[in-house]
Amino acid sequence: MDTQQAIRETPEPVTPGDRPPRLGRVPFVDNTAAMLRDPLGFYDRAGAHEADMVGYSVAGTTGCFVCHPDLVEQVLVTDADVYEKGQLLQDTLGQFIGEGLFLLEGEEWQQQRTALQPAFYRERIAAYGDTMTEFADRAAAGWSDGQRIDVLPHMQSLTLNILGKTLLDVDIETTADALEPLLDALRTRLDPRSLSAYLPLWVPTATNRAVTNSLAEFQSTLDDVIAARQREDEHAREARDDVLSLLLSLDDETMDRERLGHQLLTFLVAGHDTTALTLTYAWFLLANNPKRQQRLHDELDATLGERQPTPEDLFELPYLDAVLNEVLRLYPPAFTVFRQPTEPVTLGGYELSTDAQLTLPQWLVHRDDRWYDAPDAFRPERWDDDLEASLPDYAYYPFGGGPRHCIGMRFARMEAKLALATIAQQYAVEAVTEPPLSLAMQITLSPTAPVEVRLRER
């Protein structure tokens, strides 16, 4: 596909000094109220604008949606060195994970990324396969024929168990007890519809108090985890190769207690909810598309029979791969990527200053009918004929791109596929919750009500 041909025409050619078309009919009117009422609708209205760049202004910030794959690529890859994560993310997440890999910038980020990369090498991740399958099997063992389940909490405990065992090797029962209240409080605080999202943490709202208390609880659990590691003899410590031990082995000066807390919270937040949501949306879509579910079962039966899947088997399961691609296209848990230029830049012909908050929304680009036929339909088979090779590079980017792409991508894809395969070998799912899903844009794209399915033993 010739993407240059497909760049949408702006009403007039862009000339120096022009601004992108703006959301809202009345010029210079702030979009805060619309964004607060319905963030998802706000994104959809930007999409309906049918322009590749759409300006907006929320809570005093100058924002711009960037909706063309070539422009997304320019920001994330080609010109990556003149963009940072930006003030919006620093303001909302900085006090919790500002010292973690997700938000660090420059030299410090590079140093941490290089140090942590070995935990995500292909061979290392393949070694986690058995743990992933085992925990998925254990989750299914607790279910029975005809049972109706609220999917997300089951998937959250599954992905937390897997993450705890494989990447952190911590006592996850204790960590989960401290982590879940913190995550719940953070989800509420960072929901753009909640008042707390716009207030500093010291303002004593009920949500802020809950965040502060649960953060203290989490920190103290973390202290126990670190102390236990430090009590281990050198031999035991050297034998470990999990993310926590890589962090602890870094120079003390670069890895103080606060930074360690931010790093661990980064991995727990980034690595557990995202994959749990992916699996939840997968069960929802399969339950509501029985023929596609049947095709998945047929592939699993033909390739695996009753045998548990291994990482090598995943190469022989193309439809499973297509199902995952399609789930992440329709419901990308990371629904947008934020960036802010560090110097004046030109993007899509427009001159942008350093206060521009750029929103690169997977939620819109993944459903753009210039790249996808029937973009709202769940059709895993669209990936059969190597669709990915014919798409513009950044028409599909559930894991971001460029130097800041998701470090856990390979881990997450393997985990999701092994969990889907293991559970689908044992159960079919029938729809209880039907489309459309009611969704909220919190830290991740999350359902606002239980997503339920009924289990049928196979």
Nearest to 421 by CA among 346, 311, 325, 337: 311
Identify whether the C-beta of residue 414 lies closer than 8 Å to the C-beta of residue 304: no
Q: Examine residue 406 and tell whether it contacts ligand HEM (CB under 6 A).
A: yes
Tell me the two tokens of residue 390.
Answer: 């014919």
Q: Are strands 356-360 and 427-431 parallel, antiparallel or unpaired?
A: unpaired
Q: Is the peptide bond before 361 cis (omega within 30 degrees of 0)?
A: no
Distance between CA atoms of 181 and 272, rounded to whole angstroms? 14
Identify whether the C-beta of residue 289 lies closer than 8 Å to the C-beta of residue 113: no
Identify whether the C-beta of residue 304 lies closer than 8 Å to the C-beta of residue 425: yes
Q: Examine residue 22 and tell whether it contacts ligand HEM (CB under 6 A).
A: no
Q: Which is nearer to ligand HEM, 125 or 455 (CB)?
A: 125
Tell me the two tokens of residue 3.
Answer: 């993407």
Q: Examine residue 278 and tell whether it contacts ligand HEM (CB under 6 A).
A: yes
From 286, 404, 414, 452, residue interacting with ligand HEM (rule: CB under 6 A): 404
| Residue range at the interface with ligand HEM (CB under 6 A); choices 5-13, 14-22, 332-340, 387-395 | 332-340
Q: Examine residue 245 and tell whether it contacts ligand HEM (CB under 6 A).
A: no
Distance between CA atoms of 66 and 291, rounded to whole angstroms? 36
Q: Examine residue 396 and tell whether it contacts ligand HEM (CB under 6 A).
A: no
From 408, 427, 443, 445, residue interacting with ligand HEM (rule: CB under 6 A): 408
Q: Which is nearer to ligand HEM, 47 or 400 (CB)?
A: 400
Long-range contacts of 354-357 (CB under 8 A, 24+ apart): 355/61, 355/62, 356/62, 356/63, 356/64, 357/61, 357/62, 357/63, 357/64, 357/86, 357/87, 357/88
Q: Examine residue 398 and tell whether it contacts ligand HEM (CB under 6 A).
A: yes
Distance between CA atoms of 258 and 403, rounded to whole angstroms? 25
Residue 200 CB, nearest distance to ligand HEM (Å)? 23
- List binders of ligand HEM among 107-126 (CB under 6 A): 113
Pattern of binders to ligand HEM over 68-87, x per CB under 6 A? -----------------x--
Q: Which is nearer to ligand HEM, 45 or 417 (CB)?
A: 417
Identify whether the C-beta of residue 92 lies closer than 8 Å to the C-beta of residue 190: yes
DSSP 8-state code for residue 298: H
Q: Which is nearer to ligand HEM, 112 or 221 (CB)?
A: 112
Q: Which is nearer to ligand HEM, 65 or 411 (CB)?
A: 411
Nearest to 128 by CA among 419, 426, 325: 419
Q: Which is nearer to ligand HEM, 441 or 455 (CB)?
A: 441
Pattern of binders to ligand HEM over 284-323, x per CB under 6 A? ----------------------------------------
Q: Examine residue 331 and tell whether it contacts ligand HEM (CB under 6 A).
A: no
CA 355 vs. chain centroid, Å, equals 25
CA dihedral (236, 238, 240, 242) positive or negative: positive
Question: Which residue type sits at 231?
Answer: R
Residue 129 CB, nearest distance to ligand HEM (Å)? 14
| Residue range at the interface with ligand HEM (CB under 6 A); choices 36-44, 122-130, 225-233, 267-275 | 267-275
User: Hey, how many other C-beta atoms are within 10 angstroms of the C-beta on 178?
Assistant: 19
From 172, 337, 352, 414, residue interacting with ligand HEM (rule: CB under 6 A): 337
- The H or E element containing residue 325 is helix 318-330
| Residue range at the interface with ligand HEM (CB under 6 A); choices 122-130, 266-274, 286-294, 351-359 | 266-274
Pattern of binders to ligand HEM over 148-177, x per CB under 6 A? -------------------x----------
Q: Examine residue 455 and tell whether it contacts ligand HEM (CB under 6 A).
A: no
**Residues near ligand HEM (CB under 6 A):** 85, 101-102, 113, 167, 266-267, 270-271, 274-275, 278, 333-334, 337, 398-400, 404, 406-408, 411-412
